[in-house]
């Protein structure tokens, strides 16, 4: 799980990552050129960043690679300039580095790949780099969107790892001990299991964002509530709610996720730091 996000605070992907961190109460930081310079002038004071000993962009780029557990590079198109240098410096220092070309990879697949990469490498301090705003006007919005999706997916995988990351066993007492029989009962149980902070974040998602939760939370729901292993009453409830007599287990999980989201939307609001 990400504990801190750093970047060089340049316009575009860098700045988007820091704004995302601030808005989600995630500690942030990073090295910036001496004088806090960026292509749009002086980096605003509300960014908690440190000045490198030189005004050269390359030095702060290297310091951020060194001070992080891994570097994520986002762009629309091939790497060039500072982004290409970032990748080379990560290789030089033997640090994990993931480059995502958002022109070639759909946002959902990028989210899954980034989440797995973070988990596989145990990344807690994430360095985010990528295109400048002047070279890629859409990169700011895309970076925020991808990081939001990674956060939501990470919530589920981090809070429910025992059921998501291990094989299902029929005799598992942790799974068998609770078997809600209706969609509403299942939603109530899920709400009881999620921390307040995560319920608030889930409430802030859009309906489109629910697809990011489905791969991981769906596995948890199907396994923990035995949709795949004999909980016919819950399956029948899902079919009744969806009005689909042919609804399968994946569809049932999505029905539950949507009902969870609808209830949280009524009871929780996402908190934003301005």
Q: Where are the beta strands (DSSP E) in the chain?
A: 4-6, 28-29, 31-32, 37-38, 41-42, 50-51, 70-75, 97-101, 125-130
The yes-or-no verdict on residue 272 having pLDDT over 50 is no
pLDDT digits (tens, 9 = 90+) for 87-146: 999 999 999 999 999 999 877 778 878 988 998 999 999 999 999 999 999 999 999 989
**How many CA atoms, within 13 angstroms, populate the side-chain half-sphere of residue 70?**
19
The pLDDT, as a whole number, for residue 269 is 57
The pLDDT, as a whole number, for residue 86 is 95
Report yes or no: 220 and 163 within 8 Å, Cβ to Cβ. yes
- What average pLDDT score do residues 19-40 get? 94
Note the pTM of the prediction, 2 decimals: 0.66
The pLDDT, as a whole number, for residue 178 is 62
For the chain, which domains are there? 4-152 (3.40.50.450), 160-267 (no CATH)
The pLDDT, as a whole number, for residue 1 is 76
The yes-or-no verdict on residue 24 having pLDDT over 60 is yes
pLDDT digits (tens, 9 = 90+) for 35-86: 999 999 999 999 999 999 999 999 999 999 999 999 999 999 988 888 999 9
3-state secondary structure 138-205: CHHHHHHHHHHHHHHHHHHHHHCHHHHCCCCCCCCHHHHCCCCCCHHHHHHHHHHHCCHHHHHHHHCC
pLDDT digits (tens, 9 = 90+) for 166-211: 444 444 444 444 689 999 999 999 888 777 767 777 787 778 777 7
The pLDDT, as a whole number, for residue 106 is 78
């Amino acid at each position: 799980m990400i504990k801190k996000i750093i970047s060089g605070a340049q316009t575009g992907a860098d700045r988007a990552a820091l704004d995302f961190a601030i808005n989600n109460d995630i500690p942030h930081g990073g090295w910036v050129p001496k004088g806090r310079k960026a292509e749009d002038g002086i980096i605003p004071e509300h960014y908690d960043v440190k000045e490198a000993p030189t005004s050269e962009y390359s030095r702060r780029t290297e310091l951020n690679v060194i001070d992080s557990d891994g570097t994520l590079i986002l762009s629309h198109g091939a790497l060039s300039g500072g982004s290409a240098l970032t990748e080379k410096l990560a290789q030089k220092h033997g640090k994990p580095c993931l480059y995502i070309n958002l022109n070639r990879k759909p946002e959902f697949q990028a989210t899954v790949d980034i989440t797995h990469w973070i988990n596989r490498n145990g990344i807690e301090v994430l360095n985010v780099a990528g295109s400048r705003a002047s070279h890629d006007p859409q990169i700011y919005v895309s970076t925020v969107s991808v990081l939001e999706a990674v956060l939501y997916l990470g919530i589920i995988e981090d809070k429910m790892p025992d059921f998501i990351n291990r094989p299902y066993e029929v005799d598992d007492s942790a799974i068998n001990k609770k078997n809600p029989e209706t969609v509403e009962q299942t939603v109530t149980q899920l709400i009881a299991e999620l921390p307040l902070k995560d319920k608030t974040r889930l409430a802030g998602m859009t309906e489109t964002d629910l697809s990011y939760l489905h791969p991981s939370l769906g596995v948890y729901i199907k396994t923990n509530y035995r949709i795949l292993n004999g909980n016919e009453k819950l399956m029948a409830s899902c079919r009744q709610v969806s009005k689909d007599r042919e609804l399968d287990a994946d569809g049932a999980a999505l029905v539950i996720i949507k009902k969870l989201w609808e209830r949280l939307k009524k009871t929780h609001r996402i908190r934003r730091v301005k």
